[in-house]
Amino acid sequence: MPKSPATTARSKRAGSQLTPDAIIEASLRIAARGSEDAFTVRRLGEELGADPTAIYRHFRDKDELLLSVADRTLGEVLDSIPEGLDWKGRIRALAAGSLEVALRYPVVGSTMASRTTRRPNEFRVVELIIGAVMEAGLQGAEAAVHYRMVGESLLAFVGQRAAHLLFDADIRAADESAWSREYRLVDAQAFPNITHLSTELAEVTDEQIFQVRVEALISAIEKRVETLRGA
């Protein structure tokens, strides 16, 4: 832990090879390799051309490193959202951007699905979502709980997709083929609905599902606003 510079601005040492930023970028490079290359401390040392344990001079543990990496990617998402969108557009852009980086760096999206980073960019996301639900017409406790619904749902969506991408290729293939193979062979007596929809079930794509899930969030907010207005 570097002592925080009191008055002198000497914080940058010339001889320091490793910096937090360099480590984060190396982490992203490994994370981008998805399931082909596990994200381990030893791999990270290899990628940096340094001893694996050197990382512990800059991050307390692997968890703190992952939180920092996650905050970096969250920043990328936020910067990709254009100005001037209405509340629905902002939520859709946030969802699409989050999914994009989560699929690019699966290990990050997966481990952060049920965490709170409490880092700068997370506050920006919170501010954005709360602004959206308030613009939609919710206030006070209603706005608060609906923000949490949107935030955690988005996190859960992209985390789920990212986690799926981390499985070995063969497990993933088995999961995907289930819809087109096993669900066609179920007992028609015991499972009439599955039998009836087997063709349509096999044709649903992940992208369709994601879009419907995002639209469900939006329409749930709209419906809540209408209900409160009517009452």
User: Does position 86 bind a copy of itself by CB under 8 A?
Assistant: no
Nearer to a copy of itself, 22 or 160 (CB): 160
Helices (H), the chain: 20-31, 41-48, 62-79, 87-104, 106-111, 120-136, 140-166, 169-180, 192-203, 206-230
User: Considering beta carbons, is residue 40 or 114 the nearer one to DNA?
Assistant: 40
DSSP letter for each residue of 121-135 = HHHHHHHHHHHHHHH
Select from a copy of itself, DNA, none the partner in contact with residue 159, using the beta carbon and a kind-dependent cut-off of 5 to 8 Å: a copy of itself
Among 141, 169, 229, 231, binds a copy of itself (CB under 8 A): 141
Q: Is 171 in the site for DNA (CB under 7 A)?
A: no
- Cβ-contact 143, 130 below 8 angstroms: yes
Q: How far apart are CA 190 and CA 194, in angstroms?
A: 9
Q: Does 114 bind a copy of itself (CB under 8 A)?
A: yes
**Is-contact 158 110, C-beta < 8 A?**
no
Q: Which does 51 bind (CB under 5 to 8 A by kind): DNA, a copy of itself, none?
A: DNA
- Is 45 a residue that touches a copy of itself (CB under 8 A)? no
Give the one residue of 8, 189, 193, 205 binding DNA; rule: CB under 7 A.
8
- Return the number of the residue (16 or 126) whose C-beta is nearest a copy of itself: 126
Please state, in angstroms and rounded to a whole number, the distance separating the CA atoms of residues 86 and 128. Answer: 11
Nearest residue to 25 (alpha-carbon basis) of 60, 58, 61: 58
CA nearest to 207, candidates 158, 134, 143: 158
Please report whether residue 81 would count as binding a copy of itself according to CB under 8 A: no
Which of 28, 50, 81, 201 is in the footprint of DNA by CB under 7 A? Answer: 50
Q: Give the C-alpha separation, 130 to 92, whole Å.
A: 14
Q: Which of 170, 168, 166, 160 is nearest to 39 (CA)?
A: 166
Q: Interface with DNA by CB under 7 A: which residues? A: 1-3, 8, 10, 13-18, 38-43, 45, 50-54, 56-58, 61-63
What is the binding site for a copy of itself (CB under 8 A)? 113-116, 118, 123, 126-127, 130-131, 134, 140-141, 143-149, 152-153, 155-157, 159-161, 163-164, 174-175, 178, 182-183, 186, 190-194, 197, 200-201, 203-204, 208-209, 212-213, 215-217, 219-220, 222-224
